[in-house]
A and B are shown apart, each in its own frame.
Chain A
Amino acid sequence: MINKVMTVDEIIAELSDGMSIGLGGWATRRKPMALVRAIARSSLKDLTVIAGYGGPDVGLLAATGKIRKLIFSFVTLDHIPLDPHYRAAREKGAFQVWEVDEGMFHWGLRAAAMKLPFLPTRVGIGTDVINQPGFKMITSPYQDEEELVAMPPITPDVALIHAHRSDDRGNILNLSVDPIFDELLVRASERSYVTVEKIVSTAALDMKTNSRFNLVERALITGVAEVPFGAHPTSGSPDYEIDLDHLRLYSKSASSAEQWDDYKSNFINVDEASYLSAVGGPSKVSSLPKPIY
């Protein structure tokens, strides 16, 4: 029978320099942080990072010099509006950007998922977004003859996402209230790797009850790795909430080279088990309070 179970290191070994890597989740929610940390401590370089809804994933990869080009709509830590690591790298001109509207981003994923050369949209008209290279206009062939933006496909080589449950075949459950656009990211990408909180038997997924949480059919999932708390410090709700104190620590680590070195040696250049104990262990992360919006 099919078995797609891998380790984080095996997933990272499938990536190579210059690849385009799509990152799922949203800002502080369900980011594939264990994989991001593993990329940060790897020798990978010159990546095109495709993270429409960026959070500390983008900041970490920016601060560790992994990004050649960033395709995104925003980078934020939500409760902490601006990510200082992202800002510092961006202000140095450390990487190229292709900055698109949030809706355009998933429209581009949709075009890729449907193997279309573009999807028409009004979004971007009247703004500087469409003055960046890579956009063309198209005239409606119908009576209205409206000028529209021809949003090109966004096609990552690889998608990395975090979910809650999986079996060993890659049947995924994403138990969040909001799945964000992880499904489209997977459909747009050549290959997709998923970290999950827990790998269980197919029967234990109770798919008949949980079908609404099944992100995508397993044929689109290349590999799964069990990484409990793999989204930390972003949320893996309902399993655990955002670690705001850790995000503050991460944010503060941009203040000096010394603090950033400390952060890296405590939280990045360590294996996942050491990371988890450095952030307080499973019981602490499991009992983080719900954030206030």
Chain B
Amino acid sequence: MSNSSHPLSELMITACAEAWRDAGEIMVTGIGPIPRIAAGLAKHTFSPAIQITDGEAWYTSEPLPLGQSHQQPVYEGPANYDRVFSTLWSGKRHAMVTPVQIDRYGQANISVIGDHKKPRTAMLGVRGFPGNSICHPNSFFFPKHNKRVFVEGEVDFVCMAGYNPDRYPRGQMPKGLDLRLIVTELCVLDFGGTHHSIRIRSLHPGVTFDEVQDNTGFPVTCPSAPIPTTCMPTPEQLAIISQLDPEEKRKRS
């Protein structure tokens, strides 16, 4: 994608926003600049009912722009820690996250690389990933698409549950397990293949299926029909993106 002339970050934001099309009145959490701008874009366009927080403890009427803001937000209500769990356990949330590793089952890792007892790299810890993954819909954004992210075997420490039947009592997947979109620098994927295998949904302009496959540690399901090209942002979307991110933090993520 390095030689492409179109703005990749804006394309990825509009692709991420699609995760929340027709989401209804639910809590939406986009973690990291691009998912967060995408959530704001979804709210400003096709999903006005979604509830977004200020990243601390409040729901705000309008998505807050990234960086220093001079506008005083209108607060809709508290989104304190306790309430977040009540909401997410009820299923009325859809988060987009950027784990360090993901595997063919959609299992994801943000805890450690290597052995859990004495890791080669210690990262955040499991956070709320285990609960999120089996209670409400989740989508993913990866700024880099390579085999270190899309790993060959299982991820080193499964923080987010995925569609791996071996990990469930009697093979029964939790009802709330609902993995949706994966947006990367190369393409958009979903879990629409056989047994929820990861399938290509669209390729960003100039990217080939082979390029995606070569950078993925497991087989990517390819639909038989021609693969669509990821939609370019419209001028209206571009205007909203620049309003949500006046300091262009999206370019640095």
Contacts and interface: CB of A to CB of B under 8 A. Distances in A.
Contacts of A132: 116
B83 to A, nearest CB: 9
A191 to B, nearest CB: 24
Q: Chain B contact residues: over half helix, strand or loop, or mixed?
A: loop
A124 B119 contact: no
B128 A73 contact: yes
Interface residues of A, number: 42
Interface string B167-201: 11110111011000000000000000000000000
Interface string A90-119: 111100110111111010000000000000
Contact of A90 (B81, B122, B161): B122
Most chain B C-beta atoms within 10 Å of own C-beta, residue among A99, A123, A147: A123
B213 to A, nearest CB: 27
Contacts of A100: 126
B131 A102 contact: yes
Interface string B96-139: 00000000000100011000111111111111111101110000
Contacts of A90: 112, 119, 122
B69 to A, nearest CB: 8
Most chain A C-beta atoms within 10 Å of own C-beta, residue among B111, B123, B126: B126
A126 B164 contact: yes
Contacts of B57: 177-178
A104 B135 CA distance: 13
Given A104-B131, A293-B54, A147 B126 contact: no
Contacts of A65: none
A127 B130 CA distance: 7
Nearest to B172: A147
Contacts of B116: 97, 99, 128, 132
A123 B126 contact: no
A126 to B, nearest CB: 3
Contact of B81 (A26, A93, A129, A147): A26
B4 interface: no
B37 interface: no
Contacts of B129: 101, 127
Q: Chain A contact residues: over half helix, strand or loop, or mixed?
A: loop
A156 interface: no
Interface stretch (B7-15, B152-160, B204-212, B227-235): B152-160
A104 B118 CA distance: 23
A260 interface: no
B24 interface: no
Most chain A C-beta atoms within 10 Å of own C-beta, residue among B69, B123, B130, B135: B130
A273 interface: no
B158 A126 contact: yes
Contact of B128 (A26, A82, A96, A103): A103
B46 interface: no
A109 to B, nearest CB: 12
Contact of B127 (A82, A102, A126, A137): A102
Nearest to A92: B118
B68 interface: yes
A86 interface: yes
B90 interface: no
B219 interface: no
A86 B124 CA distance: 10
A73 B119 contact: no
B126 A180 contact: no
A51 to B, nearest CB: 10
B174 A125 contact: yes
A126 B134 contact: yes
Nearest to A72: B125
A292 to B, nearest CB: 6
A147 B167 CA distance: 12
B246 interface: no
Contacts of B67: 292
A233 interface: no
Contact of A177 (B78, B122, B162, B176): B78
B89 interface: yes
A128 to B, nearest CB: 4
Given A101-B129, A177-B57, 11 more contacts: A82-B123, A99-B126, A101-B127, A102-B85, A103-B85, A123-B131, A124-B130, A128-B158, A137-B169, A181-B81, A292-B68
27 contacts: A54-B125, A73-B125, A74-B124, A74-B127, A75-B124, A82-B122, A82-B123, A82-B124, A87-B123, A90-B112, A91-B121, A93-B118, A101-B127, A102-B131, A103-B128, A123-B130, A124-B130, A125-B167, A125-B169, A126-B134, A128-B116, A178-B56, A178-B57, A179-B80, A180-B80, A292-B68, A293-B55
Closest 5 A-B residue pairs measured CB to CB?
Answer: A126-B161, A293-B55, A93-B118, A74-B125, A90-B122
Interface of A: 26, 54, 72-76, 81-82, 86-87, 90-93, 96-97, 99-104, 106, 122-129, 132, 137, 147, 177-181, 292-293
